[in-house]
Chains A and B, each alone.
Chain A
Amino acid sequence: MALFEIENLHVRFDAKDGPIYAVNGVDLSIEENTIIAMVGESGSGKTTLLRAILGAVDLYNGGVFVDGVSISDRRANVGYVPQLEAIDWNFPVTVEEAVLMGSTMDRPLFPWFRRADRELAHEIMDRLGIISVSKRHIRELSGGQQQRVFLARALVGSPKVLLLDEPTAGVDIKTRDDVMHLLHDLNHQGVTILMTTHEINAVAAHLPSVICINGKVVAEGPPSEVFTTETLAVTYGAEMPVIHYQGLSLVAESPHLYGRNGSDTRTAHVHASDGLNNA
């Protein structure tokens, strides 16, 4: 059953030289209990599409339906996780305070959180492995823990759908892997997940479905079928070599002559060789 239906969606912004269509005729149907990523170059409309689902942008044409109800009639029960880069890390909030913000609208004009809100927040923090740092300031955490804080905040509203804006931006490869596994776990627990990302190879390695966006939907389906040189050329407007490795379609960057060791004759030294040998 389709959880989201996006029909002929157009979102436009006024600019000096006339209107710009950030989303230009998107039709999409996303099934319940799926985990799917949107990829595309910066400015391709990925984030605008997320904001449209959240009801945060004016739709020029078309509609967004969640559970068969138009988002203009009723706000959807959707959890949103912003980009970590957009967070003010100097803001004085502890992990627990940040997570509890997800319950703000339960009883908005009640100055403190109920015991039930706190218990739910603690249960979710425990599930995501951040209960031990609940009293710490959000800046004092690792990248993976910081991502979990904002995932936890989204989950306290018990949403059916999680929207994540570039959850792996600016984190190291290990944290990226952890985040992807965590999202899979949440998906197995019944949460539908839609995210935007620039990490094409992480999508190929971890996700069953991908949508390529460039103002409109260029392609959708399993990454192994969608990631072709032709599709990526339309999505990104650039030639990108695709390598097939162990059933995965991985995208390489167009190599530079220097990168091919064209003139560099230096040899590599592995300083941690003892550790590597012991591993």
Chain B
Amino acid sequence: MLEPLSYDFFLRGLIAATLVGGLCGLIGVYIVLRRMSYIGHGLSHAVFGGAVVSYVMSINFFVGASVWGFLSALLITLTTRKRTIGADAAIGIITTASFAVGIALVSRYRTFTRDFDAALFGNIMGVSSGDLIAISAVTLGAGGIFFIGYKLFLFTTFEPDVAKFYGVPTAWVDTTFSLVLAGAIVVSMQILGVTLIAAAIVIPPIVTRLITNSFRKMVLLSTSIGAFCGMSGVYISYFIDVSSGATIVLFSAALFILAITYSNLKSYAKKRRPQISS
């Protein structure tokens, strides 16, 4: 059982997946409650465009992709606040346009030597020490920001308009959120790949929402479930010889099925309980 832990590459992948799982679970709470579930999926595509641009312009991948992702996230948030355009439409337009920039550049400059497969499908076993440092820094930074700004993020997520009336600097909160989101997508992309990030962001908070009605508990549980899914997914993938990203998502989906079954059984039992009439 402990055999895979003797490999350095596996250990690095396990730590990275645990951190990324927790990070996605944490950010996912705010994303799901803002009804922007597809922003993870969309932004990962947008960041792919930024990754190609940074490669063409010989800029560091993390810097280029983060700036690109931040601008896309900010644009989506600002467009959504205008209310004339829904979050789903804003995500659809901005992120696919950004993804298209990447595709256009790849097709224009056919002399690419860099392989973008890792960005598209993730590569947990190829995590370097540098990647691990970047993931740890973003996870710690995001955790610190959500911890310190807990009250501000809660009010802004619950009622953005009313929060403003109470003096909450909602524009700053939104900008900070976009920044953290972009950083999280960039570091997660290397692990899970563009195509699987959405599930890692959405499933843990949805599972948690089914079992708690408290925001504080939802934040703590979603982060823990995300980290647990990341760790378990990588561990299981070693033994069943299946892609780690896919195993993490399938493990999360299995938890979701368990949670929804539990929730339905609970409601059923509540309905069947005899009513005491006075």
Q: B158, A105: Cβ atoms under 8 Å? A: no
Interface residues on chain B, number (Cβ under 8 Å): 28
B159 and A105: CB pair below 8 A?
no
Taking the closest CB of chain A, its distance from the CB of B137, in whole angstroms, is: 21
Q: Are B168 and A105 in contact (CB under 8 A)?
A: yes
Chain A residues whose CB sits within 8 angstroms of the CB of B148 once the complex forms: 109, 111
Query: CB of A97 within 8 A of chain B?
Result: yes
Tell me if B261 is interfacial: C-beta within 8 Å of chain A. no
B149 within 8 A of A: yes
User: In the complex, are the beta carbons of B33 and A91 less than 8 A apart?
Assistant: yes
Q: Which of A54, A82, A111, A157 contacts B151 (CB 8 A)?
A: A111
Contact B158 A88 (CB under 8 A): yes
Residues of A near B166 (CB, < 8 A) are 80, 101-102, 104-105, 157
Does B167 belong to the interface (CB within 8 Å)? yes
Q: 0/1 per residue, A108-132, Cβ < 8 Å to B?
A: 1111110000000000000000000
Residue pair B158, A104 in contact (C-beta under 8 Å): no
CB distance B214 to A92 under 8 Å? yes
Specify which of A78, A87, A97 lies most central, judged by the most chain B CB atoms within 10 Å of its CB.
A97
Docked complex: B90-111 residues within 8 A CB-CB of A: none
Interface presence of B239 (CB below 8 A):
no
B155 CB-CB contact with A under 8 Å: yes
With the chains together, A56 CA to B152 CA distance in Å?
A: 18
CB <8 Å contact, A101 and B165: no
| Interface residues as binary, B160-196 with A (CB distance below 8 Å gives 1, 0 otherwise) | 0111111110000000000000000000000000000
User: What are 21 pairs between A and B in contact, CB < 8 Å?
Assistant: A54-B165, A56-B165, A75-B167, A80-B162, A82-B162, A86-B159, A88-B159, A91-B157, A92-B209, A92-B218, A93-B214, A94-B214, A101-B151, A104-B152, A104-B154, A104-B167, A104-B168, A108-B149, A109-B148, A111-B149, A136-B213
Q: Which 6 A-B pairs have the closest CB atoms?
A: A137-B213, A111-B150, A105-B167, A104-B151, A80-B165, A54-B165
Extra pairs beyond A86-B161, A92-B212, A104-B152 (20, CB < 8 Å): A75-B167, A82-B159, A82-B162, A91-B215, A92-B213, A92-B214, A93-B213, A93-B215, A94-B213, A97-B154, A101-B151, A101-B154, A104-B151, A104-B154, A105-B167, A108-B149, A108-B168, A109-B149, A111-B148, A136-B213
List B residues at the A interface (Cβ < 8 Å).
33, 147-152, 154-155, 157-159, 161-168, 209, 212-218
